[in-house]
Amino acid sequence: MTGQTLLIVEDDPGLQSQLRWNFDQYKVQVADDRESAIAAIRKSVPAVVTLDLGLPPDPGGVSEGFRTLQEILAETPFSKVIVITGNNDTHNAVKSIGLGAYDFYQKPIEPEILSLVVKRAFRVFELEEENRSLARQHFAYPLRGIIAASTEMHEVCRTIERLAPTDVTTLILGESGTGKEVLAHALHALSPRANGPFVAVNCAAIPENLLESELFGHEKGAFTGADKQVKGKFELAEGGTFFLDEIGDIPLALQPKLLRFLQERVIERIGGRKEISVDVRVVCATHQDIQKLIEQGRFREDLYYRINAMVVSIPAVRERSGDIQVLAKAFLARYVEQMKSKLTGFSETAIAAMECYSWPGNVRELESRVKRAVIMSNGPLIDAEDLMLPGGKPSEKITSLREIRDSAERQAICQALSECNGNVSKAAELLEITRPTLYSLLTKYRLKI
Ligand SMILES: Nc1ncnc2c1ncn2[C@@H]1O[C@H](COP(=O)(O)OP(=O)(O)OP(=O)(O)O)[C@@H](O)[C@H]1O
Ligand SMILES: [Mg+2]
């Protein structure tokens, strides 16, 4: 049981020392009021907490005890809290369980019995931990070549895994640089078609008049300059996966032909007369809002229904909790090795600036900023300036008043936390809000302290 922390929340000095002595086999921490209990929890998460309901300023009542219980569980929902109530106070004991306490114990305290209750609570905590860790092993890993720690991205990875064995047409949505192509590739690599080709065509990168030939191929003499037969990319993807990137940019004139291919899996080369059947799995991607394109008459609705059988939405980097630092560190390690640099990490201001920045270019931008910083930095740590990041300047692409407010709020929080060296109480004071409000804003903006 070593290393497991027991937090005793008790205001009576006599009982405090009795309990401390009684539980000397654990790492014991003692708190005598709500504030110090929460402070202790933030320092090291206890496996088990014993909580006296009668705490100052209401030692004779239960109000402060219940408040403490709720705050403890909000901070550390996995800790096992044993509530210690007055003699025969069954009503409040039951109420505690209702609020989420693990168990209760009625005074007077008999050390041996309380020891058993605490021991069992440790055991339950351990088992639950084991369970959580197994669940993490099962579900919380990214795919090969994908760097991600956030649950948002892990969910995307699980979806890709589930879709991989199927042949269903898949649409990958996400802002520029979020990893649409890497995920399309991962989908292919995990599929039964992995040994077949992965052929990608970017509809936005090929001039409109050449795209049809690129996709479907042409026969000799089909048009001026067609001096030999050329197979299209659909044909070249036979037996594999065809990645149609930036499908939002596909010209309207070409859409019926694409729709026919998706429905019947046959193509006709330009200038050709025969139908050629092709066995490919189609994955499409776009950073555009296709619904809007439909409204504007730039995208056929029937084609949309063909491609959106399965939609995978990749969150923007700023919406992934915890990924910014993980990605930055991985790219740093990559370029430090490549460039034989002596840099060892990021400064605190660099980390704060990265967390505050909105990353409109997502992973691609993050990678290129880190790469540049590795070249430019004098070390040993990369600073915000090396990343050319404003100290938390909000996104320039603002579309609504709400976004402006959110962005300003996020920036103010980052700044306050940075000024207070991550001290939440001080930052809350500076911002003239309560600490719980600050915590909920940290969650809202996915900010880590
Ligand atoms: N989770 C990730 N882990 C590691 N590298 C990533 C990750 N996501 C993206 N990348 C890298 O970032 C770059 C951009 O990824 P990708 O080309 O897949 O993005 P995209 O969404 O297709 O962007 P665009 O819309 O601009 O085409 C690539 O170099 C890719 O390898
Ligand atoms: Mg792309």
Cβ–ligand 1 contact at 174 (below 6 Å)? yes
Residues 202-256 have pLDDT tens digits of 999 999 889 999 999 999 988 888 889 999 999 999 999 999 999 999 999 999 9
Q: Give me the helix-helix angle, 362-376 and 323-338, nearest 10°.
A: 40
Helix (H) or strand (E) holding 212: helix 208-216
Q: How far is residue 360 CA from its own chain's centroid?
A: 16
> How many separate domains does the chain show?
4
Instruction: Place 1 in a pLDDT band, splitting at 50, 70 and 90.
Output: very low
Give burial (CB, 10 Å; 0-12/13-18/19+) of 183: buried
Cβ–ligand 1 contact at 180 (below 6 Å)? yes
Instruction: Place 173 in a pLDDT band, splitting at 50, 70 and 90.
Output: very high
In a mutational test of the pocket of ligand 1, which residue from 154, 181, 325, 329 has the highest number of ligand atoms less than 8 Å from its CB? Answer: 181
Identify the residue with better confidence: 144 or 46: 46
pLDDT in the model for residue 414 = 79
Pairing of strands 281-286, 170-173: parallel
User: Above 70 in pLDDT, residue 38?
Assistant: yes
Strand partners, 31: 9
CA–CA separation, 353 and 356 (whole Å) = 5
User: Above 70 in pLDDT, residue 136?
Assistant: no
User: Above 60 in pLDDT, residue 279?
Assistant: yes
pLDDT in the model for residue 395 = 44
For the residues 87-111, what does the mean pLDDT come to? 89
Instruction: Place 417 in a pLDDT band, splitting at 50, 70 and 90.
Output: confident
Q: What is the pTM of this model?
A: 0.63
User: Above 50 in pLDDT, residue 296?
Assistant: yes
In a domain, 144, yes or no: no
Q: What are phi and psi of 430, to 5 degrees?
A: -60, -40
How many angstroms does the Cα of residue 263 sit away from the middle of ligand 2?
25
User: Above 50 in pLDDT, residue 392?
Assistant: no
CA–CA separation, 158 and 139 (whole Å) = 7
* Residue 256 near residue 267 (C-beta atoms within 8 A): no
In a domain, 142, yes or no: no
For the residues 323-342, what does the mean pLDDT come to? 92
pLDDT in the model for residue 84 = 92
In a domain, 103, yes or no: yes
**Domain's final residue, options 137, 161, 187:** 137
**Domain's final residue, options 296, 315, 334:** 315
Same structural domain for residues 60 and 41? yes
For the residues 262-273, what does the mean pLDDT come to? 92
Same structural domain for residues 26 and 169? no
Through-space distance between the first and last CA atoms of the chain, rounded to whole angstroms:
29
pLDDT in the model for residue 208 = 87
CATH number of the CATH domain containing 130: 3.40.50.2300
Residue 183 CA, closest ligand 1 atom number: 18
How many angstroms does the Cα of residue 173 sit away from the middle of ligand 2?
10
User: Above 80 in pLDDT, residue 139?
Assistant: no
User: Above 50 in pLDDT, residue 406?
Assistant: yes
Cis (ω within 30 of 0) for the bond into 315? no
In a domain, 146, yes or no: no
CATH number of the CATH domain containing 423: 1.10.10.60
Cβ–ligand 1 contact at 146 (below 6 Å)? yes
Top mean-pLDDT range of 133-142, 186-195, 388-397: 186-195
Q: List CB contacts of 308: < 8 A, sequence separation 6 or more.
A: 171, 290
How many angstroms does the Cα of residue 182 sit away from the middle of ligand 2?
8
In a mutational test of the pocket of ligand 1, which residue from 157, 175, 178 has the highest number of ligand atoms less than 8 Å from its CB? Answer: 178
Cβ-based neighbour number of residue 214 at 10 Å: 18
pLDDT in the model for residue 2 = 38
Q: Which of 68-82, 364-378, 402-416 is predicted least confidently? A: 402-416
Q: What is the DSSP string of 3-56?
A: T-EEEEE---HHHHHHHHHHTTTSEEEEESSHHHHHHHHHHS--SEEEEES--T
CA–CA separation, 307 and 303 (whole Å) = 6
Q: Which of 131-135, 171-175, 220-224 is predicted least confidently? A: 131-135
Cβ–ligand 1 contact at 178 (below 6 Å)? yes
pLDDT in the model for residue 356 = 86
Cβ-based neighbour number of residue 53 at 10 Å: 27
Cβ–ligand 1 contact at 181 (below 6 Å)? yes
CA–CA separation, 449 and 417 (whole Å) = 8
CATH number of the CATH domain containing 263: 3.40.50.300
Same structural domain for residues 384 and 442? no
CA–CA separation, 101 and 51 (whole Å) = 10
Q: Domain span at residue 419?
A: 394-449
In a mutational test of the pocket of ligand 1, which residue from 141, 363, 367, 371 has the highest number of ligand atoms less than 8 Å from its CB? Answer: 363
pLDDT in the model for residue 233 = 96
Q: Which of 176-180, 394-398, 409-413 is predicted least confidently? A: 394-398
**Domain's final residue, options 297, 315, 333:** 315
